[in-house]
Amino acid sequence: MAAGRGEFFRSFQESWEKKPTQPALGRRQPVRGRGKPGPARIQSGQTGGKRKKRRPKAAPSSVSGNSHSSPQPRPKGNKASSPKIKTSPSNENVLERLPSEILLKILSCLDPSSLSCISHVSKLFYQLANDENLNVSWELTVCDCYGRKITMEQSRAYFFESSVIVRWSGASFLKFHHIRNIQLYGVRKETLKSPKARTPGWRSLIIKQDNMIPVRYICTDKLVKLRHLPPCFLIGTWRGSNSIAFIMVSLHFHKLVEKSLLGSPVCPFSEPMDPPPADNSDPEFGLHGYTLHFVLHNTGAEIMSGHFRQLSCRTIQVRSGLVELRVINRTNLSEHRPLSGNIKMPWKSGTVEGAVENCCIVSLTLLDEFQKPFWCVSSPISIMMAKRQQSFDYSGEHFVMDFKDSDGQVKMKLVWFKEQKQFFLISLTVYISIFKVNKHFSRAY
């Protein structure tokens, strides 16, 4: 995202939000001749700065219904007072008064990069840019062992600060063990004159998951079982029948617009390879100046959110091919923080709904020292009982949450306070693979 384009949109919004100079109806007007005299207040016939002692005769206020208004002087030569002009309140945003149809029409003409950029201008543009009324949606194509291809349109999308969860349901006829591969597409359909009529649009392949073996059972409730298919799929099956109840996918916003629109039906969007940033620091110094935006959430609400700056790591902390960034230190009690809700994943399939405990979504955005996206992840994660006590400062039950992919790993340690019925996060550590660091900076750690 170009920084210059974002600055343009911010200045564009500020110009719209300036307070109007025209006074509002009913507001008292300043009386000429009162206060400190100036050149414009010297009336005709006055010389040498002298002022006449006689004041002009006052006329009653022209605003009806206000018996407490002070009388206003009537200008000479005007038999009737000038008409009042009603203006909008000074705190009203002009953009918010425009019909959403007009704004959607304007946004639909933008290219994906501009659309992604303008979504950061305000909450209004953020909602409109991510609204499915722009005809951007996501579809799943599931292939089974009998050679059938089943295409499902999304049932619901849940937007959050840095990610979106998309859900598909209504495929109970499909058995989980019959699935051979899953393909996720971004689709933009053209809307015809009829509001409900759409033509088949361009399909952009985002993910093609051919291998179903990495799928891992994570948790269950009375109705469904949840399985995690890396990197970002969450599959719910009905207990007892193994039929698909729903499929969810968690997608990080980084390059999501480009991935959803600029890929081909058979090949995902390929991000241009920029030259590595110049890093003139001492190799022994390690990583420094990193920023992490970290969110735990589900389909309904945020469970925990944090923004952590100035993360660093020296080369002596590099172990097992991983660079360690300590975000929340277990021994520093002042850094520990509570979670705002229980760790669970609400779900819905048709008219049936529920919530699976001990599962949620982790969305993280790690920025390098140049404040450029370095590692962006949004994926299901589960909580498990710790095998041993993680801290002697807390007497409650201890739990751990782990996430790992080819680029890095996240480890969390939590304590459950039974009386408050609340989790407390006492440790958060991010690990980055040496291979990714060396590739990004052309280094040889």
**C-alpha distance from residue 308 to each of 90, 268, 321, 358, 365 (Å):** 36, 32, 24, 25, 11
| 248 shares a domain with 334 | no
438: tokens are 């060396």
189: phi then psi, degrees, rounded to nearest 5 = -100, 145
Domain assignment of residue 64, yes or no: no
- Note down the domain range covering 401: 286-441
- Tell the burial category of 66 from Cβ atoms under 10 Å away from its Cβ (0-12, 13-18, 19+): exposed
3-state secondary structure of 157: strand
The answer to whether the CB of 169 falls within 8 A of the CB of 348 is: yes
pTM above 0.85, yes or no: no
| 357 shares a domain with 297 | yes
Distance (Å, whole) CA 410 – CA 79: 78
Pairing of strands 149-153, 156-159: unpaired
| 292 shares a domain with 246 | no
DSSP class of residue 94?
Answer: H
| 319 shares a domain with 184 | no
- Give the dihedral of Cα atoms 378, 379, 385, 386; nearest 10 deg: -60
Domain assignment of residue 32, yes or no: no
Domain assignment of residue 302, yes or no: yes
pLDDT of residue 118: 73
Domain assignment of residue 125, yes or no: no
pLDDT of residue 426: 95
**Which residue, 306, 385, 394, is CA-closest to 343?**
385
The answer to whether the CB of 271 falls within 8 A of the CB of 255 is: yes
Query: E strands along 74-197, which residues?
Result: 136-144, 149-153, 156-159, 163-169, 179-191
| 437 shares a domain with 293 | yes
pLDDT of residue 276: 64
Domain assignment of residue 362, yes or no: yes
Give the number of other CB atoms < 10 A from CB of residue 157.
Answer: 17
| 425 shares a domain with 297 | yes
pLDDT of residue 251: 95
| 430 shares a domain with 321 | yes
Domain assignment of residue 95, yes or no: no
| 335 shares a domain with 249 | no
pLDDT of residue 197: 53
How many structural domains is the chain composed of?
A: 2
**Which residue, 296, 314, 320, is CA-closest to 306?**
296
Domain assignment of residue 65, yes or no: no
| 208 shares a domain with 329 | no
3-state secondary structure of 165: strand
> Please, what are the averages of pLDDT over each run of 10 residues along the chain (445 residues)?
46 48 44 42 42 47 39 48 49 68 74 65 71 75 91 91 91 87 88 55 90 87 94 93 94 90 90 66 74 95 94 78 92 93 92 94 94 94 89 87 95 93 95 89 74
Residue type present at position 387: K
pLDDT of residue 6: 47
Answer whether the bond into residue 268 is a cis peptide, omega within 30°.
no
Among 192, 227, 261, which residue terminates a domain? 261
| 294 shares a domain with 215 | no
Long-range contacts of 81-89 (CB under 8 A, 24+ apart): 84/25, 85/22, 85/25, 86/24, 86/25, 87/20, 87/22, 87/23, 87/24, 87/25, 88/20, 89/24
Pairing of strands 233-238, 163-169: unpaired
